[in-house]
Amino acid sequence: MHKKLALLFSLLAGILCAGITTTSLADEASAAKVQKLIDAADAARKEAASVGGEWRDTGKMIKKAKALLSKGDYVAAAKLANDAAKQGHLGYEQAMSQKTLKMPSYLHYE
Amino acid sequence: MCRRHTHDSNTFEDGKNMKQLFRRLALVVISCSFITTVQATTPEEDLAVFQNFFKKRFPNVETEDYINGTYAIDPIGRENWEAIEEFPPYEPFIDEGQTMWETPFANGKTYKDCFPDGPALAGKYPRWDKEKGMVMTLPLALNNCRKANGEKPLKYKKGSINSLLSYLSYQSRGQITNVEIPSDDPRALQAYEDGKRFYYSRRGQLNFSCSHCHLQNAGMVLRTEILSPALGHTTHFPVYRSKWGTVGTLHRRFTGCNKQVRAKPFKAHSEEYRNLEYFLTYMSNGLPLNGPGARK
């Protein structure tokens, strides 16, 4: 009986340990993935800034994504990083589209 | 069959030529429309078109009244503003600025040593500084004076620079805006053109340019506010804004506008904002200075 109980406990302990190891491995993988997204967002922000097209909140979003990552909220951090990356790309495209001066048609030059 | 083939071949060639012709025509049309939008114009032409736009937009407003900003086109707001102007909220700042102007630096010199013509300086700025190859603004010139005399430069948006500017603006009231773009230095025209491009460029998440609010939609209501006309924007700075609860500089206002369209603002007195000030002040050429002002 005692032998059976000991065996059962050892099995349970083994399963738990395996579970914890798997979870921390998964955490590390998720954290690395989110960190990559944050790095990509920051690169996009910098690209927009290089042509004077950075948007107001992009940097703040990246900062917030970093804070969420450190708290382990990977889903929210990843979403925010993706949104920030989009802003970076759009800011760059916008600035490039405005490189050539386009005078408004309501100003009437003769 | 052969002839038929030839005929088909000709038809084919004709079709090909027609396509090429259409392509060329399309290119010409596109190029022409492009030229229309990016045609080179002189600052004088820009000024005339800019000021005429407002004459047509608000035919009952005297050109000189644009120095009063939105109160030139908003009679109810004007009544409130005139009541505020009876006890101007910027007055203590003028007094403080006068003290600053007259108080010697640690080395015994004063601002007057840098600006021997006295405190009525605002009408001389912004100006093209050929030696430095850049647009020189009044706050920048004041800080250059401080640095040359071993003093710490003042912050450009908030704080005591506003008192000094209030005093100088008050002393300069009535001077006529007369920004010059010297023809002997092409960099001056380039700075003007850069400022102009900034003014008409979309930026920020809201995808607005300065001109969208203050030219195209001047006089329209945005939430509870009437959008002020761009003409005369530079005549009354620094400005006591009730929203700020203090006096603020023109570049602080630029920063605020850029933030409102959700663009990351540039630094005060950065090249971008200096060039913008150069263009925008040029657009008010001919209007008298009436700073400091009071606004909501």
Mean of pLDDT values over B233-256: 97
Task: Count contacts between A and B (CB, < 8 Å).
Answer: 71
> Is residue A64 situated within a structural domain?
yes
Task: Say if the Cβ atoms of A101 and B38 lie within 8 Å.
Answer: yes
Other Cβ atoms less than 10 A from the Cβ of A62: the count is 24
Omega of the bond prior to B116 within 30 degrees of 0, cis? no
Task: Say if the Cβ atoms of B262 and A94 lie within 8 Å.
Answer: no
Quick one: which of B111, B11, B68 has its CA closest to B239?
B68
Whether B9 contacts chain A with CB within 8 A: no
What's the distance, Cα to Cα, between the start and end of chain B in Å?
85
> Is residue A8 situated within a structural domain?
no
Do residues A46 and A85 lie in contact, with contact meaning Cβ atoms separated by under 8 Å? no
Chain A residue at shortest CA distance from B257: A56
> Is residue A108 situated within a structural domain?
no
Q: Has residue B154 got a pLDDT over 50?
A: yes
Whether A98 contacts chain B with CB within 8 A: yes
Between B2 and B179, residue with greater pLDDT: B179
Which chain A residues are closer than 8 Å to B210 by Cβ? Answer: none
Chain B residue at shortest CA distance from A105: B37
Q: Which residues pair with B294 in a beta bridge?
A: B240
Task: Say if the Cβ atoms of A55 and B204 lie within 8 Å.
Answer: yes
pLDDT of residue A29: 76
Q: What stretch of H or E contains B278? A: helix B271-282
Residue position matching structure tokens 């910027």: B90
Total number of domains in chain A: 1
Tell me the Cα Rg of chain B: 25
Do residues B294 and B85 lie in contact, with contact meaning Cβ atoms separated by under 8 Å? yes
Structure tokens belonging to residue A1: 């009986």
Q: What percent of chain B is predicted at pLDDT more than 90?
A: 86
Task: Say if the Cβ atoms of B41 and A108 lie within 8 Å.
Answer: no
Q: What is the pTM of this model?
A: 0.85
Between B171 and B31, residue with greater pLDDT: B171
Other Cβ atoms less than 10 A from the Cβ of B241: the count is 18
Whether B39 contacts chain A with CB within 8 A: yes
The low-confidence residues of chain A, meaning pLDDT below 50, are 17, 20-21
Q: Is there a catalytic annotation at residue B32?
A: no
CA distance B254 to B272: 11
- DSSP percent split of chain A into helix, strand, coil, nearest 5: 80, 0, 20
What is the topology classification, in CATH, of domain B43-295? Cytochrome Bc1 Complex; Chain D, domain 2 (1.10.760)
Cα torsion at B258, B264, B270, B272 (round to 10°)? -60
Which chain B residues are closer than 8 Å to A89 by Cβ? Answer: none
Domain containing A68 equals: 26-97
Which chain B residues are closer than 8 Å to A106 by Cβ? Answer: 53, 215-216
Residue B248 φ then ψ, to 5°: -135, 160
ipTM for the assembly: 0.82
Q: C-alpha A39: how far from its chain's center?
A: 8
Task: Say if the Cβ atoms of A56 and B211 lie within 8 Å.
Answer: no
> Is residue A13 situated within a structural domain?
no
Q: What is the pLDDT of residues B235-246, one digit of tens each?
A: 999 999 999 999
Nearest CB partner across the interface for A107, out of B49, B201, B265 = B49
Residue position matching structure tokens 């060639």: B13
Q: What is the pLDDT of residues B27-49, one digit of tens each?
A: 444 444 443 455 679 999 999 99
Whether B262 contacts chain A with CB within 8 A: yes
Do residues B111 and B143 lie in contact, with contact meaning Cβ atoms separated by under 8 Å? no
Residue B145 makes CB contacts below 8 A (sequence gap 6+) with B111, B113, B114, B115
Residue position matching structure tokens 């396509």: B19
Which chain B residues are closer than 8 Å to A100 by Cβ? Answer: 38
Q: Which residues pair with B225 in a beta bridge?
A: B222
Nearest CB partner across the interface for B216, out of A59, A87, A106 = A106
CA distance B65 to B235: 11
